Amino acid sequence: MSEPTAVPALSAKQIWHYFAPVHARRPFLALENINLDVARGSFVSLVGPSGCGKSTLLRVFAGLVRPTSGRVELGGQPIDGPDERKGMVFQEDAVFPWLSIVKNVEYGPRARGVARAERRKLAQQWIDMVGLAGFENAYPRELSGGMRKRVDLARVYASDPEILLMDEPFGALDALTRLKLQQELLLLWERTRKTVVFVTHDLEEAGYLSDTVVVMAARPGRIASIHHVDIPRPRSFDIRMTPQFTALTRHLWNEIESLDEG
Amino acid sequence: MPRVVKAQAYQPAGNAQNLPGPSSRSLEALALQQARRSALQRRRQQMSLGLLSVLIVITAYTVLTQLPKSNPALLPPPPTIVNAFIKGIQDGTLLSATVASLGRVAIGYMAGCTIAIVIGSLRGWFTTIGYLLDPIIDALRPVPALAYIPLVILWFGIGETARVLVIGLASFLSCVVSVTAGMKEVPTVYVEAARTLGATERRVFLTVAVPSSLPYIFAGLRVAIGAAWGTLVAAELIAAQNGLGYLLQAGQEFFHSETVIVALFVIGVIGYLMDAALKALQTWALRWSPRSG
């Protein structure tokens, strides 16, 4: 009962991070004393105005940024550099254009040395899951932006990370594609129950997807408040019209507005 | 659905619903046919205009040679040039000169570019290697490869080694810059994606940095083939007993201006063909690239 849930999937302990730009007079405090536990199997969003350090915090979790001080742990183990246990989806198009779709999806298993037949099977399974069957041998340039994002999702899921870090993954997509992909991400998440940390500046997106929404404030980047979303799952598009959902987004909005004045 | 819309758009106005229009499938075929035809037309226009300009130049030259004051020893009329070309092929001088030149360029170019790709990649990708090598390469670069000829001759004599070395140097110098630039332009997001998918540093270099900079590597290879070919001819002009450059030189010495013109023509055609071959290889190797074709 208490064994796996006792250790959070991800935890940040007293994280301070300074940026030292070459031309700036003094270092810039990007993260001020961040303490955060992410429970195993939960979906947590980080929201906040630009400059609040939400992306930096995510990159600290990924091991791509080493914080100036403090500890980050993955399942109780200190995080030291990026690897396949911390999968990441970026806002930019990160699908390798020189590889076919299937080769993109099997990149992670291949890097880990999974045998050819097995990684093909795995890749196919995730390609089918994101609805790209028939495009296995296409190059990314033949696909639309939304389809490429699906390849990205399939690739990170095929790599089977312990946690999934998403940095505004749908931020560059058009509004309709974005809604569709939110739906599909929910489906994937409900099937696999992988721990997700999701950065966005879209409050509706955060509320729709998450169990927990962390509101961050800027200058210096810090956690302002943490909100639990009690909307039952599985969720569908319709819940956006419920009073409960609109109350939540209004609450988040008021919270962020009040931060601006302070 | 879109098919229906398309079909209606093609139908004449007025009572469009009831008119028996052509099926959407045949309209699609028609559109495709039209697209192909206009592409073909453009191609035909390109070919005929190109041919026209070549004809104009040849005609102008012929007229020039027919002027009363023109000296046939300096401006050989076209038939003389064609005869020299045929004779060169028949007695083998042209062929052996071409083979000699191509052999030199092949060795020098391949060696120079291979080293340029290895060194250029390493110094572009690994910062510390860059710090080590940048001063040396940046010091070598502004000096044209031809300027090394006297030193190379002093060190190695006027042998084959000297010529291949100079061509290798020319290839290396013109290729290495582009390779390094390509390595510096690798988008960070690809590197970070690979790392978070579990790739080791070595794997990131081989499976992300190298393919990502492939367009730059090909640009370098194409610049280098031009530089290598040009340098080769110049090197043969100065010191060689065979090759196309030697043919140019010999033509001048024996006052055979038609030989000089034939050699120039062959040098030009081969240079063009080499670049065309490389371009075809590039198009194939970069078929994934959004910027290609």
What tens digit of pLDDT does each residue of B271-290 get?
Answer: 999 999 999 999 999 999 98
- Give me the pLDDT at residue B6, please: 47
- Four-CA torsion A145, A86, A64, A12, nearest 10 degrees: 120
Quick one: average pLDDT of B258-267?
Answer: 93
Question: How many whole angstroms separate alpha carbon A249 and alpha carbon A30?
Answer: 26
Residue A30 lies in a domain: yes
- pLDDT, greater one: B229 or B14: B229
Question: How many whole angstroms separate alpha carbon B180 and alpha carbon B144?
Answer: 19
Question: How many whole angstroms separate alpha carbon B281 and alpha carbon B217?
Answer: 12
Task: Locate A120 and state its tokens.
Answer: 């093909």
Report which of B235, B199, B148, B283 is spatially closest to residue A83, judged by C-alpha positions.
Answer: B199
Q: Would you call A111 and B199 a contact, using CB atoms and an 8 Å cutoff?
A: yes
CB atoms within 10 A of CB A140: 21
Q: Which residues pair with B172 in a beta bridge?
A: none
Residue A74 lies in a domain: yes
Whether residue A83 lies within 8 A of chain B, CB to CB, comes out as yes
Q: Is the peptide bond before B144 cis (omega within 30 degrees of 0)?
A: no
Question: How many whole angstroms separate alpha carbon A93 and alpha carbon B258?
Answer: 58
Number of structural domains in chain A:
1
Structural domains in chain B plus CATH codes: 94-285 (1.10.3720.10)
Question: How many whole angstroms separate alpha carbon B157 and alpha carbon B160?
Answer: 9
Report which of A255, A202, A204, A254 is spatially closest to residue A229, judged by C-alpha positions.
Answer: A204
- Four-CA torsion A217, A221, A225, A229, nearest 10 degrees: 90
Residue A132 lies in a domain: no
Beta strands across the sheet bearing A28-38: A28-38, A10-19, A69-74, A77-78
From B198, B208, B212, residue closest to A159, measured CB to CB? B198
Q: Which residue of A has its CA nearest to B286?
A: A98
Q: Which domain holds residue A25?
A: 8-85+195-250
Q: Which residues of A touch B190 (CB under 8 A)?
A: 94, 96
Tell me how many degrees the CA angle B120-B122-B128 measures, rounded to the nearest 5.
120
- Give me the pLDDT at residue B274, please: 95
Q: Would you call B290 and A97 a contact, using CB atoms and an 8 Å cutoff?
A: yes
Q: Which residues of B touch A83 (CB under 8 A)?
A: 195-196, 198
Question: How many whole angstroms separate alpha carbon B264 and alpha carbon A196?
Answer: 67
Residue A138 lies in a domain: no
pLDDT at B107 over 70: yes
CA–centroid distance for B225 within its chain? 6
Q: What is the DSSP letter of A215?
A: E
Task: Locate A6 and state its tokens.
Answer: 């006792």
High-pLDDT (> 90) share of chain B, %: 70
CATH number, domain of A30, equals: 3.40.50.300
Quick one: average pLDDT of B197-214?
Answer: 96
Q: Which residues of B touch A139 (CB under 8 A)?
A: 287-288
Residue A122 lies in a domain: no
Task: Locate B20 and state its tokens.
Answer: 């028996």
Low-confidence ranges of chain A (pLDDT < 50): 1-4
Residue A200 lies in a domain: yes
What confidence category does residue B292 fall into, taking pLDDT thresholds of 50, 70 and 90? Answer: low
Look at strands A10-19 and A77-78 and give their pairing: unpaired
CA–centroid distance for B169 within its chain? 18
Q: What is the DSSP string of B76-98?
A: --HHHHHHHHHHHHHSSHHHHHH
From B196, B203, B289, residue closest to A97, measured CB to CB? B289
Q: Is the dihedral of CA A87, A101, B1, B13 positive or negative?
A: positive
Residue A43 lies in a domain: yes
pLDDT at B5 over 50: no
HEC readout, A64-115: CCCCCEEEEEECCEECCCCCCCEEEECCCCCCCCCCCHHHHHCHHHHHCCCC
Residue A178 lies in a domain: no
C-alpha count within 13 angstroms, C-beta hemisphere, residue A29: 11
**Mean of the per-residue pLDDT values for chain B?**
89
- Give me the pLDDT at residue A221, please: 93
